[in-house]
Structures are given as C-alpha cells and as structure tokens.
Structure 1
Amino acid sequence: MNTYNPHIPAKCTVTGTSAVEAESRAESLVRLLQFGDSMFPIGGFSFSSGLESAVQKGVVTNATTLHEFTRTAVEQAARGDGIALIAAHRAATASDVGELMRIDEMVYVRKLSEETRAMSVRMGKKFTEMGVHVLGAPLLRTWQDCIRKTLSPGCYPVALAINFAVQNLPERHAFAAHQYGAAAPILGAALRLMKVSHVDTQKILYDLSGQIEASYERAATARLSDMSGYAPLTEILAAVHTKAHVRLFMN
C-alpha cells in the first residue's frame, strides 16, 4: 500500500529523475509551457470567472479595478484549489487513487455556485482526456475511468496535478501553472468585455506572477482542511451571471 505525508514534498521518480533535476531541464520548461498555457484546449477561454457580471454591475470599470478583481481571484485560487493541487500532486506521485478521489471531492464541495462547479469539472475532464491522448500514462487512464464511472467529480486542479506528476514535473511547476491559469483567462476576457489594453493586462499579469513563489510556500505547508477562499462578492457575481439574460461567457 502506498503511503505518503501530504505536508512533505514528494520526490518524483516516475522516469528515474528527481524533482530537483527535472526542475532544471529545458524539456520540463517546455512541458510547463505546453500544459500550463491558458489557451490549452480544455475550454478555459470560454469562462470569465465572474468578470462579465463584475463589468455589467460596475464593480470592474478600469485597469485598476481589473487588477484588484484579478488579484482576488488569484489569491482565492492559491488558498483553495492551490492547496488541493499540491496535495493531489503528492498523492499522484504515490499512485494513491483513493486519496486523489478524497481530494477531488473536497475541491468540488467548496465550489459554491453552479457555474464554478461546472467550470472546474468541465476543464478537469477535458484536461484528463487530453492527458490520456497525449501522454497515455496509466494513472491518467485510471483517473479517466474514475470520472467516467462517476466515482469522482474530476475537478481541474486534481487533473492538472496528476498530469504534472506523471511527467515528473515538480509540484512547484504545477502550482505556477495553476496560478497563471487563474489570472490569464480573466485578463483575456477583459479585453473582450471592457475598455482595457493589452499593455494594461500584461502589466497586471506580470505583477501578479511575482507573487506566485510566496503563495506556493504558504500552500505547500498547508493542510487540506485549510482550504478556503473567502470572497463573497465573487460568489454573488457568479450567482448573478447564472440568471443573466445576455452572456458572452459561460461563467
């Protein structure tokens, strides 16, 4: 039986290369860029993470308020899904499918609105499917079976964690990809929803990316029970969006 400590970073040995060695390889960087790309075909571009309602209701009106909104989303992701992602990466490294299912359920029940649940599950299922086709790793196939048999919801952060773990990509890289993925789609949506420039959005993304390392250090030592994402206005905006008559984005 596989055992692991979720509070201690695991050393991946899937391909005989340690996580430290993998972190310095150019190939690992390329894989991070590929699977961490905000345009990776899993449907993330079709969601605005509540920004559409925020613009419609006047909560986000310019580059300054967009920066604040995106920062809130990124911080919420780090304190919630980010903690689960790290735990799932360690469980995947230990091939502990039962623990992956437990983590996946904990992520799902913390999604308060219908659309945030739908977003996480749809992206997670698609990410798993793409991983099976591109990588063909046995653990990814097992996880896809769990989703198909409705044994587990299949949330996005868990799928991302498994994908990176089977490639021997460090949990730090998985966390970075996750946080980048929390910000980039919002900023991409902003270009279609409001008067903001590419320069504005790139400046915001650059600033928020500088906080990833500190966020990782906090999440890496947190317990699953520490998962939280208190941002009531964001949840309200998501609920408003569900009832909206005119929508450009699914969420």
Structure 2
Amino acid sequence: MNKKNKLNHLLQLCQFSDSALPIGSFAFSNGLESAIQLKVVTDDKSLKNYIMVCLTKNASLDGVYINHAYQAAKKRNIQSLIEIENSYRTKIIGKEQQLMTSRVGQKFATLFLKIHDSELLNEFLYLHKNNKDNLSHAIIHSIICSELSLSQEETFALYHYGIASMILSAAVRLMRIDHYQTQRILFEVNKKVDEFYAESRRLTLDETHSFSPMFDCLVAHHVDAHVRMFMN
C-alpha cells in the first residue's frame, strides 16, 4: 500500500464496515427474532452466545468462500468466481437465508457501482442478469474488497463485523438492551476474529460446513411465524 494512501485506506475500511451502509441488512435479524420469541436469547449473555454461534458458523462456511472468492477476484478469474458462487449457493439452508444473501448482495453491488468503477463486478453481474437470485453477499463482498485493494484478512474481518453488527442492530429493536451493552458485546466478540480467520484458512471448499442445528431450527421457525418484524 502506498504510504500516502494509508489514511484513505483506513477510511474505506470505516465506510464499508459502517452498520449504516445502505445495503438492506437492517431488514434481517439472522434468526435473532425467532431466538427471542422462543426464549433462546433472553439477555445480554445469551445474546453474546448467539452471536458467537453465528460467527463460528461463518468461519466454517462463508469465511472459507470469502477467502477463495477473494483470491479468484485478485486473479480476475471470472469463471472461478462463478464456480465458487454456484458451490456456495448449495450450502445455504433455508429460503430466508437465501433471500438474505441475495438481497444484501444485490444492494451492495448496486451501491458500489454508484461510487466506484469495476469491470470485474460488472462482468460478474452481467453473467447473472437473468438470475439475480443467485447472487450472494459473500461473493459480492469479496469482489468489492478486492477492487478496493483490501487484504484478504481485512475482507474477512469486514464480513465478520457485518454479521455481528446486523444481529446487534436487530437486538436493540427486539429486546430490552441498550447501546452500552451492545457495544460491549461487539467489542468482546471482535477479539475472536483472528481465531475465526485462522479457522477459515484451515478449511477447503469441500470441507466447509454449517452444522448448527439450533440456528437452522430458528430460521425454519421464522418462516411460519405469525408476528414478524424482520425478513429472517
């Protein structure tokens, strides 16, 4: 990185990790709404535990795909990106999770192209023009971070941060918890990011897994919930 661009690089990290980034993640709770309704999450301690489950799941699935997609994007290997995308889509369980990754991915791509040129992202979107539901946030995220010249570690960290921020943002609207508590939880779970990244580096795409029965049951419950604030 050019030393004179160091501060701009830092500000780009801040901008694209901002929880207020308008990519639609505020509409999703990542299963938290059902977790609260079923009393799996009742206080700040159980909320932190729930986020850790989600981040552990991310490290063994999304994070692995992010690493591979980032490497393919750096090589500008569009065919490899398509293959990684297709493989990732087979691992997403539940129609609401599929909806979340597609919606957020599409909005992130649209936002980025409004503020930055990207031949690679335009080509990737063109190849999906007849089936935009197959776009995935994780793969779009990797392409964008590559185009911004962020490192692979930074790319993983931003996605990790986004998951925790999404859930905590929903928590403020769903349960009795204040911003001091949510910020403390965010500070604590972020201490584990290096361990999560190391786990994601250890796995190949064939070894990825999302074994998390509690989470899968909560997501399934939300589909038929009578009262819903969030889309998942």
Structure 2 length as normaliser, TM-score? 0.95
Structure 1: distance between partners of 2:117 and 2:76: 15
What is the identity, as a one-letter code, of the residue corresponding to 1:134? I
- TM-fit CA distance, 1:91: 0.2
Contact kept? 1:125, 1:147, Cα under 8 Å: no
1:153 aligned residue (113, 130, 134): 134
Are residue 79 (structure 1) and residue 57 (structure 2) matched?
A: no
> What is aligned with 1:102?
83
- TM-fit CA distance, 1:220: 2.4
Contact kept? 1:53, 1:237, Cα under 8 Å: yes
Structure 1: distance between partners of 2:202 and 2:12: 25
Distance verdict in 2 for CA 1:151–1:44, change over 3 Å:
closer
SS in 1 for 2:93: coil
SS in 1 for 2:134: coil
> How many aligned positions are there?
231
- TM-fit CA distance, 1:152: 7.9
Are residue 223 (structure 1) and residue 213 (structure 2) matched?
A: no
Structure 1: distance between partners of 2:95 and 2:20: 23
Structure 2: distance between partners of 1:41 and 1:248: 18
Stretches of structure 1 lacking an aligned partner (at least 5 in a row): 1-16
> What is aligned with 2:123?
142
> What is aligned with 1:194?
175
1:120 aligned residue (83, 101, 112): 101
Of 232-241 and 150-159, deviating more is 150-159
SS in 2 for 1:83: helix
Contact kept? 1:85, 1:175, Cα under 8 Å: yes
> What is aligned with 1:40?
21
Same amino acid, percent of matched pairs: 30
Are residue 238 (structure 1) and residue 225 (structure 2) matched?
A: no
Structure 1: distance between partners of 2:131 and 2:75: 22
Structure 1: distance between partners of 2:52 and 2:23: 23
Contact kept? 2:106, 2:132, Cα under 8 Å: no
> What is aligned with 1:212?
193
Contact kept? 1:105, 1:152, Cα under 8 Å: no
Query: 4+ residue stretches of structure 1 with deviation over 2 A?
Result: 149-152
Structure 2: distance between partners of 1:140 and 1:178: 18
Structure 1: distance between partners of 2:83 and 2:132: 10
Contact kept? 1:83, 1:227, Cα under 8 Å: yes
What is the identity, as a one-letter code, of the residue corresponding to 1:242? V
SS in 2 for 1:110: coil
Structure 2: distance between partners of 1:143 and 1:126: 14
- The C-alpha deviation readout for 1:7-51, integer Å capped at 9, x for no partner, is xxxxxxxxxx5xxx68x8221111111122222111001100000
Contact kept? 1:53, 1:238, Cα under 8 Å: yes
- TM-fit CA distance, 1:150: 2.5
SS in 2 for 1:245: coil
> What is aligned with 1:6?
none
Root-mean-square deviation (CA, aligned residues, Å) is 1.6
Are residue 203 (structure 1) and residue 184 (structure 2) matched?
A: yes
> What is aligned with 1:175?
156
Structure 1 length as normaliser, TM-score? 0.88
Stretches of structure 2 lacking an aligned partner (at least 5 in a row): none
1:133 aligned residue (110, 114, 121): 114
